[in-house]
Amino acid sequence: MAKPQRMRLNVNGGHFTVTVDPDMPLLYALRNDIGLNNPHFGCGLAQCGACTVHVNGKAIRSCVTPVGSVRGKKVVTLTGLGTPEKPHPVQTAFVEEQVPQCGYCINGWIMTAAEMLNKNPKLSDKQIRAGLKGLKCRCGTHFAILKAVKRAAKAMAS
């Protein structure tokens, strides 16, 4: 275990100073030190996606990403993706399609879909399914999730 270090993190456009072991998962710093209630802890093995955040625009699993590796980078969580007044198109589509049941996994689906569609909103159904591969939803809302991502893609492409 490394000695705790004082680090300044850029999260959702704000700057936060934390004193943590640089090898500690980013997820723990976001939840425990900064006080965010998303992303979620799911599996702790980067297999479910509940912990997904963007680092410099790329969707990553924060449960296996050392907090020290994001120094000097921009971290965006679901909270910072959009605002209540101006949500990201993927957030809007998930609400319009009434996707969430328990909502625990939604963080991963929205953050992963947002990265994909920010890069290319004109993805085929096959590309969307491939891009979302590996994410888990125990409630079985996969059909609604796909509808929402396609709705967001259409909104972003126009």
Of all helices (H) and strands (E), which one includes residue 101? none
Span 89-157: which CATH code? 1.10.150.120
53 vs 1, residue with greater confidence: 53
pLDDT of the residue at 48: 94
Domain range annotation of the chain: 5-81, 89-157
Structure tokens at 53: 């955040």
- With beta carbons less than 8 A apart as the criterion, state whether 67 and 25 touch: yes
Closest CA to 109 of 124, 129, 86: 129
Could you read off the pLDDT of 79-121 as tens digits, one per residue? 999 999 999 999 999 999 999 899 999 999 999 999 999 999 9
pLDDT of the residue at 2: 80
Could you read off the pLDDT of 35-48 as tens digits, one per residue? 999 999 999 999 99
3-state secondary structure of 135: coil
Domain 5-81 listed as CATH 3.40.50.2300: no
Q: How many CA atoms lie within 13 A of 100 on its CB side?
A: 15
Task: Name the band, by pLDDT with cuts 50, 70 and 90, for residue 124.
Answer: very high
